[in-house]
Amino acid sequence: MNIIETAIPGVLIIEPRVFKDSRGYFFESYSQREFDEKINAILGHPIRFVQDNESMSSYGVMRGLHYQRMPYTQSKLVRCVKGAVLDVAVDIRKGSPTFGQHVAVELNEENHLQFFVPRGFAHGFSVLSETAVFQYKCDAFYHPQADAGINIKDEMFGIDWRIPADKAILSEKDLRHANLLDGPLDFDYNDNLYPEFSK
């Protein structure tokens, strides 16, 4: 796999090696060995995924911006296996040089790209196709009491979700999220967000 580093350190785009022939295609969607070798070299610590999730959404659905509070914060490795989404990671670590900045990437069934979202980031996506099946791996289990979010339309971020306002579909829960600066800042740039790998 090819690792593409983005403008925000630790936020990574992963491009698999895809083998195509007259029958179709084949690729390794995940290899712990290769992930350890390449991602560990960039992040300085390993990642161990413990939960896989899948969602199906229709055009115009916007999910996010979600994260889990400490001590249950999650890294995510996401991909779109059917259709297309615009996937976004926002740095919400207080004191970070890239605080409030985001990385956006289109993930679709043709490019097979994956997106690694580290702990300390809020994550969301919008559905650009008629339907989209979205899969993601998490390195911590879901804990309802730690569930949190930020307003997906917070103008501070300047995100073009590529969905007309009259076509956007959001849950009542996501509509209630406050803007980043109007709520508690859950992460500090100097926090150790991966304490399980500390020596």
Contact 50, 99 (CB under 8 A): no
Q: Which residues contact 117 (CB under 8 A, 6 or more apart)?
A: 11, 75, 76, 77, 78, 89, 123
State yes or no: is 136 an active-site residue.
yes
Catalytic residue among 67, 112, 136, 194: 136
3-state helix, strand, coil in the chain (%, to 5): 15, 40, 45
Q: Distance (Å, rounded) from C-alpha 44 to C-alpha 192?
A: 12
Contact 22, 7 (CB under 8 A): no
State yes or no: is 112 an active-site residue.
no
Catalytic residue among 66, 102, 123, 177: 66
Phi, psi for residue 29 in degrees, rounded to 5:
-80, -20
Active site residues: 66, 136
